[in-house]
Chain A
Amino acid sequence: MAYLDSEKVANLLRVVILVLISVVAISSRLFSVIRFESIIHEFDPWFNYRTTQYLVENGFYEFWNWFDSDSWYPLGRVVGGTLYPGIMVTSATIYKVLQVLGIPLDIREVCVFLAPVFSSFTAIAAYLLTNEVKGPVAGLLAAAFMGIAPGYISRSVAGSYDNEAIAIFLLVFTFYLWLKSVHKGSMLLSCTTALFYFYMVSAWGGYVFIINMIPLHVFTLLAMGRYSNNLYISYSTFYVIGTLASMQIPFVGFQPTFTSEHMASLGTFGLLQLVAFSYYLNSLVSKKTMHYIIGVGFSVIVALMGLALVYLTMTKKIAPWAGRFYSMWDTGYAKIHVPIIASVSEHQPTVWTSFFMDLNILIWLFPVGIYFTFSTLTDNQVFLIIYAVFGSYFAGVMVRLILTLTPIVCILAAIGVSEVFNVYLDFRVDSRTLALKQSSKSESNKEPSPKASSEPSKVHKMNVLNKLARLSVVLGFSSLLILFQFHSTWVTSNAYSSPSVVLASSDQHGNRNIIDDFREGYTWLNQNTDESAKIMSWWDYGYQLAGMANRTTLVDNNTWNNTHIATVGKILASNEKNAHRLVKELDIDYILIIYGGMLGYSGDDINKFLWMIRIGQNIYPEDLKEELFYNSQGQYAIGDNASPRMKECIMHKMSYYRTASVMGPNGMDRARRQKLPSSVTLEYFEEVFTSENWMVRLYKPKDFDNLDRLPPV
């Protein structure tokens, strides 16, 4: 019997385990495809899908210069210059390669399955990163965690064709390359880091996280007195090439030179040069003069730089922080100043339950990992700690930033678990000897199998109690990990696998009903309206309207123009006469309202209406006042006890038009559990379409009256 080299076995096992992890990562993200169909989810993915289609059909240059006159009517949108093209180019490239290979896959399938495939890459990147820091056991555990952590699955199920789908992979991989390049001091590696950083910049606005984390790492190392030429080479190379490359993305443009978000990296670059110079001087002059030079020179330079920064910020040469970044530091900021940011649920501060839901046991294994990284504080581990601290902070501020926290939680939890297993899993060796040689050994697998080692002579006899203790710890941890897998699958299947374009409900007998009102409404628009028809809706539905109905929209999920959105909010909160005038001024042909009262769908327009008023009020304070929409008891009521202003605004009228006649005199609004208003009249608008479950309601403004009668006949 041929004896296999243990190293080779370990490598083979690693590969097999990684492949299995990839398979699990991909397959656990396919719930929505199996339950519903291969469909693009939610809102933003529809835009990405539409632009990808455009890219595939018209080629890169047309895409790059695309001026979309069908969105943000009449402002239009320079699509090529206002998006991160990474994901579109990625899937278009995959599509083209598949075409060349003779696999005629539809572009939609490529888009739908992009996120799961990239999540398997993320798992592998997590393995590489952890392997670089701690070793293969922790690496494999990190990969396994990364593959199934709900915090990441939430943004990468099949159909969730959004920037984050590839960006998390790029984030982890860029960090891996960075750590490796710092470790090796290789210019080639840091060029590669810069290259992947560029890919990240092209893919997601979260690249700002990288361009702040890496300088912070460098800065911390400098502060710890750990300057090395390796650090100098990697950061200088990375910063220069990475920044130049990032400026090639039109959406980013010259931002790295003047926005506050990028100033940390520039400052660190300058500081690094100074430190390098001082080390160089150190080698030339005596110690005493050196102290003097450092003392005076540095304080002067730092003071000057600080003053320059303050001056430039004061004179607005350096752009102030974007609203979204202010809300990073002050969670109340957005609510007061930028309601449009606060109105998005994923920008809300995180609640504790969602940490537990998204990370489960990892959230308490995470500190364990931090503890172990502190015990051996290498350059790489310093990075992990910084990442952990900042990742936790940001995840606490904004729900959706759990996404950036998840990789580090997986990595650190894996380090924690691997340390635990290192100690308790080895039943052959005495714990004292194990502690001595723990780092040099190659631990390839988590299962307590003896085949990795071939040194039976070293096995000590352990007393039974010791063995039992180890066994119980190992069993405990294993069952936790297994439970985590179950939890992840459960969360994925129940919370994160709804396309939200198609809904499902179940009746008392447990039968599933598919509620397809959105597509019904969009298809109606597509089939029955003029191709140049302009459709007004709240911005949430803009991308879907453009993607599914293929009609011109006024506002969409790319919330670049607050005023235009506020105008739409103002129209929806105006009375019929004013709304009609504004609607006509903006050439609007149809108004789309989402009403959930018939079905009990709580994400409808009436529930979002307060945000519309707030956003409108921000721009038109004299026309809109939030208080006026509360009734005399201060409630946000919709029935007959609603405030007069509420009753006369078109959002209310269009939502409840004809509902009472269908639900009867004592009908209830099921989404709000209030009594329906008894009579709602519409004079300036007419209903043209209502979907099966009354979720999508379409109205058309009447033409100006031929004889100027009011209301128009």
Chain B
Amino acid sequence: MPLFDHVVFLCSKCKRYGKGIGKNEVSKYVKAGGNIVFGMSPDFSVLNSHIASEFGLSFENLLVVDQINYLPEESKNDSNSTAISPRTTVITDNLTDNGYILPGLAKSKRESQIYFRGVPHTISRKSPLIVNVMSAPSTSYALPMSSALDTSSQGLADSSYNGFNIKLASVIQARNNARAAFVGSIDVFTNKFLRLNTKENVYSNKDFIVDLTKWTFQETGVIKSLQTTHHKVGELEPLKRYRIKDTITFETDISLYQDGKWVPYLANDVQLEIRMIDPYIRTTLTPSPNDQTSTKFSKDITLPDKYGVFKFIVNYKRYGLSNLVLEKIIPIEPLRHDQFPRFLTQAYPYYATSFFLLLGFVAICYLFIFVPDFSSTTTTTTSSTATTSTPNPTKPHTPQQLKKKSSKNLKSN
């Protein structure tokens, strides 16, 4: 466990963070479960850009500017000049609609108006872990720092630094559920920016920063499962291994962390997968209320008619939510030798045959031993006696066979 739960980096210019803290240490800290919030400003140091690139984001020494959507105060500067200086505080409403990362925006359906002054970034790593939460309005563009305040400068040709391609803030949820938020501006964390818009019906800078940091510090969008069980229908105890075509109940409970306490998590897209190399069963679990803190997701499943070592997986990954991966390795065994059906309907003729044969054998033995003429009579007489003595149609052959055998025995002796 790291010493601090969360770390906020707001020293964009810093060339070093104390002894032995480099990019590797930061990623190690995240690997250990720590969360970070990272603010960048246009004059960021090499170290900071390296740290960001560990997380798959690349910052460049550019400045986001916009000549249409900008902070009105900025226009005061160029009142006595004909040329229009670039407006560096842009206003964007280009926010993610993910209700877990920015619950304040998704719930109230307010209009958003975020003032941003800072550096753009691009996502350099193709990874589902990275979610862009805020990008620039379509009228924005990025300029190199040196020319940003020059009135005659033009935007870059690179399309990723134009319009809504310009990423302003991104978050990363690592595989171990630790979170990191990168904002291309330190100004947005200042009181000045937080107070910029206080209108009731507008999703303001303050709302955004509160939502973002809450999410990053694991206060929203966290789910967990305390208990996962499985058992045969009608039983209660989980078995170590099941048999093919057993019907089992699989259940897991999932809680959501909300406002400082665990509440039932509601969803109808939690799926269970039973796989052995390939998925054999993939089914949606049915939610049902469990208790004050969790929802029970369960399903009765008939296991596949295939033996092997199966993996029961609930792989529930949703943007903005912490990853929930539940894995259980459970072998499914074939039937035991005494679990196969004993009598098959389609085999009854064969059973009957064998019993008729038994009876016939006894009958012939009886005739052979107790009827004095039987063994010495000719073929014609035996067949007639046999047909009269036994009504079974299979019988007429048996005396002949027996005679054949007996004559052979005589020969061999």
Task: Point out residues on A near B: beta carbons under 8 Å.
Answer: 61, 64-65, 67, 69, 73-76, 78, 80-81, 185, 229-230, 232-233, 276, 280, 532, 585-587, 704-709, 713
Contact = CB atoms under 8 A, between A and B. Distances in A.
B397 interface: no
Contacts of A69: 241, 309, 331
B121 to A, nearest CB: 15
B54 interface: yes
Interface in B38-68: 54-56
A125 to B, nearest CB: 27
A74 B175 contact: no
B175 A706 contact: yes
B129 A708 contact: yes
Interface stretch (B77-85, B151-159, B189-197, B332-340): B332-340
B333 A67 contact: yes
Given A67-B334, A229-B411, A709 B174 contact: no
13 contacts: A67-B307, A67-B333, A69-B331, A74-B311, A75-B276, A185-B412, A585-B277, A706-B175, A707-B30, A707-B55, A707-B127, A709-B125, A713-B27
Contacts of B334: 67, 78, 81
A159 B360 CA distance: 53
Nearest to B276: A74
Contact of A707 (B129, B276, B311): B129
Nearest to A713: B27
Interface string B148-186: 000000000000000000000000101110100000000
Interface in B272-313: 276-277, 307-311
Contacts of B310: 74
A92 B178 CA distance: 55
A185 B310 CA distance: 55
Contacts of B175: 704-708
Given A65-B336, A185-B412, A229-B412, A708 B127 contact: yes
Nearest to B128: A708
A706 B411 contact: no
B127 A76 contact: no
A707 B264 CA distance: 29
A80 B31 CA distance: 46
B168 to A, nearest CB: 21
Contacts of A73: 309
B220 to A, nearest CB: 21
A706 B174 contact: yes
B174 A707 contact: yes
Contacts of A75: 276-277, 308-309
A253 B276 CA distance: 27
B210 interface: no
A281 B30 CA distance: 94
Contacts of B24: 713
Q: Shortest 4 CB-CB distances between A and B: which pairs?
A: A69-B331, A708-B127, A74-B309, A229-B412
B408 interface: yes
A230 B311 CA distance: 60
B110 interface: no
Interface string B388-413: 00000000000000001001100110
A75 B280 CA distance: 13
Contacts of B337: 61, 64-65, 80
Nearest to B55: A707
Nearest to A230: B412
B329 interface: yes
A704 B125 CA distance: 15
Interface string B225-266: 000000000000000010000000000000000000000000
Nearest to B27: A707
A65 B174 CA distance: 45
Listed residue (A586, A587, A708) with the most chain B CB atoms within 10 angstroms of its CB: A708
A187 to B, nearest CB: 10
B129 A280 contact: no
B307 A76 contact: yes
Nearest to A80: B337
Given A67-B334, A706-B175, A707-B54, 7 more contacts: A65-B337, A78-B334, A230-B412, A233-B408, A280-B407, A707-B55, A708-B128
A586 B275 CA distance: 11
Contact of A708 (B31, B125, B241): B125
Interface in B118-155: 125, 127-130
A58 to B, nearest CB: 13
Contacts of A76: 307-309, 331
Contacts of B176: 706
A244 to B, nearest CB: 12
Nearest to A564: B277
A67 B331 contact: yes
B403 to A, nearest CB: 10
A61 B336 CA distance: 9
A431 B42 CA distance: 118
A706 B30 CA distance: 8
A275 B130 CA distance: 83
Nearest to A708: B127
A706 B412 CA distance: 85
A706 B173 CA distance: 9
A539 B203 CA distance: 62
